[in-house]
Amino acid sequence: MLNIILFGPPGAGKGTQSAYLVERHGLVHLSTGDIFRSNIKDGTELGQLAQSYMNQGQLVPDGVTIRMLESEVDKHPEAKGFIFDGFPRTTAQAEALDELLNDRKAPVSCMLALEVAEEELKLRLLTRAKTSGRPDDADPAVIQKRIDVYNAETAPVASHYADQGKFTGVDGIGTIEEIAERLSAAIPND
Ligand code: ADP
């Protein structure tokens, strides 16, 4: 199985690039942000819980996020592999993902990290706000909070996979196609 973690700060282009990787490699795309937003839209209990955190730019607590991710993985027993987009976002989530995938004899293949400077991220998110309808993209204070949370809680997850020899950084500046090529070239044995 090919299990890719697509990593990077808010606005780095994870969602856009996931679409390319899904098409090219026949993987199942699991975006925790998308799953939370679909729960918010459907008015589920999980959606109500997640919404308060998301609107403030904070992380949804690990316990519910990990349980949700596990149940999504188990919905796709026939998958050739997964792209994890927006997960893991904490070291505890990374440990849970490793355990979950190792138990299924399909460990993480690699972490590909899109690298984009902070000023560019802020511009991209404010531009995306015009069409995304996402309240967390429209408010500069919430954008800053998301970037701060990324730096404090999520960035350390890179070392977790670097220590396993599974980390590759990829320049996230360029055309969508150029970045897609860089990502595909960084996937091991494919
Ligand atoms: P972006 O990467 O642009 O911030 P996402 O759609 O991945 O957008 O995430 C939006 C929000 O959803 C996050 O700010 C956070 O509140 C919540 N979220 C998404 N994934 C996770 C996760 N793995 N753990 C905790 N919260 C998450």
In CATH, what number is assigned to the domain containing residue 24? Answer: 3.40.50.300
Atom of ligand 1 nearest to the CA of 14: 2
Which residues of the chain form beta strands (DSSP E)?
A: 2-7, 28-31, 81-85, 110-115, 167-171
**Considering the chain, what is the average pLDDT of its residues?**
96
Task: Give which of 3, 2, 6 is closest to 114, Cα–Cα.
Answer: 6
Whole-number pLDDT of residue 189: 72
Q: How many domains does the chain have?
A: 1
Give me the mean pLDDT over the 131-139 stretch: 94
The protein residue with its alpha carbon nearest to ligand 1, atom 6, reads 33
Q: How far apart are CA 182 and CA 169, in angstroms?
A: 10
Query: Model pTM?
Result: 0.96
Note down the domain range covering 29.
2-186
**How far away, in angstroms, is 40 Cα from ligand 1 center?**
13
Order of strands across the sheet with 110-115?
A: 28-31, 81-85, 2-7, 110-115, 167-171
Whether 33 is in the pocket of ligand 1, judged by its Cβ within 6 Å, is yes
